[in-house]
Amino acid sequence: MMCRRPHKLRALCRSAILLPTAAVLAQLAPTTPTALETSRQTMLQKAFADSQQLTEQYATALAAREAALSAAGHYEEAARFQKRREELTALYSDVPRATTSALPLPLASARLAGSAQVASETLSTLRSSGSGAEWPQFRLTPGSYHLEMEASMLPAPATFSTRFRPQDMAELEFSEVTSLAGTATPTRFPVVIRQSTDETTFTTIRVGPMTFTHATPTLRLVTTASYPANVIRIRNLRLIPQAAANLPATPAQATAAAVDSTQALEEARLSLITDLAAAQRPVIDAYLASLAKLATTAPTLKSQTDSETQRLEKFIQRGFKSTRFSPPTAIALIARGLDGFEDWSGAQIVADAVTAGDRFTVLHENQKWPIRLLWLSCPPPEPDAAGLKTAASQFGIEEDDALTVGRAAREFTTAYLRDKPLRLLVRPVRDKDGTAAALLFLSDVGLYQNVLIEQGFSTLQAPPKALKLGTAEKSLLDALSHRQTVAQKRQPPVGAWALKVEATK
């Protein structure tokens, strides 16, 4: 099998060669010891997961390039990218998704807590409360997953302890660990292990689904009570995407059902869009008439009314492609005092184009746009960048420390926004270099500016007092100012404020 693809794809090809070789070895050694077989299965699952994850990442990059070429009119070159992407997808077309998409939780890389120990890829000696394992910054694709494992529980030998009575059931807890201020308390899932019939019997346990919104969460599995008179063993821990866990047994049936449901959903969506467009158009026409009248009666507002008219005309030209369950977003924003903003929904961050914690590039409607977050400023991550001295002064820290904070802010934004749908409210007037100033909203945390302020990665940059702001803008600014005051006084201190405390000692 020749592989002329880039180095990442060559690594993928090598992973694909590994799988049938391992299968042959399994047939030649049917009496493999349990511990070795467990290690082999873990290795195979990791090879599947790593190689498929690489495939998906590469295919996503090809799709983005394909879309950009199509938008620029280079259709022949875009077709070549499409063909390459289809070749990558075909590599796993014959492999059950529920197997390849499982993400092993390797015990070798886990941090142990309490009395927990690991031997032969098996977690054991969970005798004290809080014993277990933690996987820091485990990389996954945000989404919903089931936790699956094999577990065994038996009474400890009589010689081990006579002071305690064995239990017939053990309770553990699986959760995501977070230290991000202002986020909701993560869901904790109970894991119940019941007594086994003998020491060779392991029972498969599945809990969830659990939704992860970050690409690198810290995961933890610990006991909620003490079990000094029991022997508890856990192996083959893995995360299975909810979609994969619910796949039907027959791939052909699953494909047919997916096609039917997708077609029905698309028909329903188009019907809904048509009905909504018919209901919205009279509202928009009336609003346009009001703008035209306002431009005549109040000439000083002509630039603002012209900008709003142009934006609504663009909305109409798009053909009501976005499904809306309310009047056009622009009108709703104006009612709340956020007039003058363009509403960009469903944008995606370009992960390799994040230049600072508050500056990055997004992909919206097949076009890339440089963005700067409105009303705040993160230190620049480069030593010779303009603004480093100012940022250090605003935080009250040294320039070297400000540089460290700037790099941490860039990494934080990259990881936090990766693969998330972004909603941007963009100022229509661009900076001199073409950058757009925007408010960024996320479904899980609201205004993203709040997160950077709360974590000590940024300082508030209030607009000039001469600039007239609407009620909603003033409210958002006041909230940012309050969050910065709280972040400065938080104990223990966070981000750059922690470095300021160290500098004053």
DSSP 3-24: --S-HHHHHHHHHHHHHHHHHH
Write the pLDDT tens digit of every residue in 6-62. 444 444 444 333 344 444 434 444 444 555 655 566 566 556 655 665 666 667 777
Ranges 76-90, 189-203, 315-329, most confident: 189-203
**Residue 99, pLDDT score:** 45
Write the pLDDT tens digit of every residue in 431-466. 889 999 999 998 777 899 999 999 999 999 988 877
Sequence-distant (≥ 6) Cβ neighbours of residue 64 within 8 angstroms: 363
Concatenated DSSP letters of 293-319: HHHHH-GGGHHHHHHHHHHHHHHHHTT
Confidence band (pLDDT; 50, 70, 90) for 266?
low
For residue 154, list its beta bridge partners: 231
CA–CA gap between residue 251 and residue 258 (Å, rounded)? 10
Instruction: Note the maximum CA span of the chain.
Output: 95
CA–CA gap between residue 419 and residue 425 (Å, rounded)? 19
Ranking 200-204, 314-318, 415-419 by mean pLDDT, the lowest is: 314-318
Concatenated DSSP letters of 30-49: TT--HHHHHHHHHHHHHHHH
Phi, psi of 455 (to 5 degrees): -85, 0
- Tell which wins on pLDDT, 213 or 243: 213
Q: In the predicted model, is pLDDT for residue 109 greater than 90?
A: no
Q: In the predicted model, is pLDDT for residue 371 greater than 90?
A: yes
CA–CA gap between residue 210 and residue 144 (Å, rounded)? 5
DSSP-derived letter for residue 106 is -
**Residue 441, pLDDT score:** 92
Distances from the Cα of 361 to the Cαs of 49, 351, 388, 418, in angstroms? 29, 8, 21, 12
Q: Where are the alpha helices (DSSP H) in 146-212?
A: none
User: Taking a C-beta distance cutoff of 8 angstroms, is the pair 347, 362 a contact?
Assistant: yes
How many Cβ atoms are within 10 Å of 470's Cβ, its own excluded?
Answer: 16
Phi, psi of 77 (to 5 degrees): -65, -40
Ranking 11-20, 55-64, 359-368, 475-484 by mean pLDDT, the lowest is: 11-20
Helix (H, G, I), strand (E, B) or coil at 154: strand
**Residue 243, pLDDT score:** 64
Confidence band (pLDDT; 50, 70, 90) for 260?
very low
- Tell which wins on pLDDT, 392 or 503: 392
100-125 b/e (C-beta count within 10 Å ≥ 16 → b):
bbbbbbbbeebeebbbbebeebbbbb
- Tell which residue, 99, 90, 128, has the closest CA to residue 112: 128
CA–CA gap between residue 172 and residue 223 (Å, rounded)? 4
Q: What is the mean pLDDT of the chain?
A: 76
CA–CA gap between residue 161 and residue 159 (Å, rounded)? 6
User: Taking a C-beta distance cutoff of 8 angstroms, is the pair 230, 170 a contact?
Assistant: yes
% of the chain with per-residue pLDDT over 90: 22
DSSP-derived letter for residue 107 is G
Confidence band (pLDDT; 50, 70, 90) for 189?
confident
Residue carrying structure tokens 């590599």: 91
Confidence band (pLDDT; 50, 70, 90) for 221?
very high
Confidence band (pLDDT; 50, 70, 90) for 304?
confident
Confidence band (pLDDT; 50, 70, 90) for 263?
low
**And the tokens for 462?**
């209030």
User: Taking a C-beta distance cutoff of 8 angstroms, is the pair 184, 214 a contact?
Assistant: no
Ranges 287-296, 418-427, 496-505, most confident: 418-427
User: Taking a C-beta distance cutoff of 8 angstroms, is the pair 370, 359 a contact?
Assistant: yes
Predicted structure pTM score: 0.39
Confidence band (pLDDT; 50, 70, 90) for 63?
confident
**And the tokens for 300?**
């000083």
**Residue 5, pLDDT score:** 45
CA–CA gap between residue 81 and residue 455 (Å, rounded)? 40
- With 0-12 / 13-18 / 19 or more C-beta atoms within 10 angstroms meaning exposed / middle / buried, residue 204 is exposed
**Residue 355, pLDDT score:** 93
**Residue 382, pLDDT score:** 92
Ranking 221-225, 244-248, 473-477 by mean pLDDT, the lowest is: 244-248
CA–CA gap between residue 248 and residue 251 (Å, rounded)? 7
CA–CA gap between residue 454 and residue 369 (Å, rounded)? 26
**Residue 25, pLDDT score:** 39
3-state helix, strand, coil in the chain (%, to 5): 45, 25, 30
AA identity, residue 412: F
Ranking 65-79, 111-125, 198-212 by mean pLDDT, the lowest is: 65-79
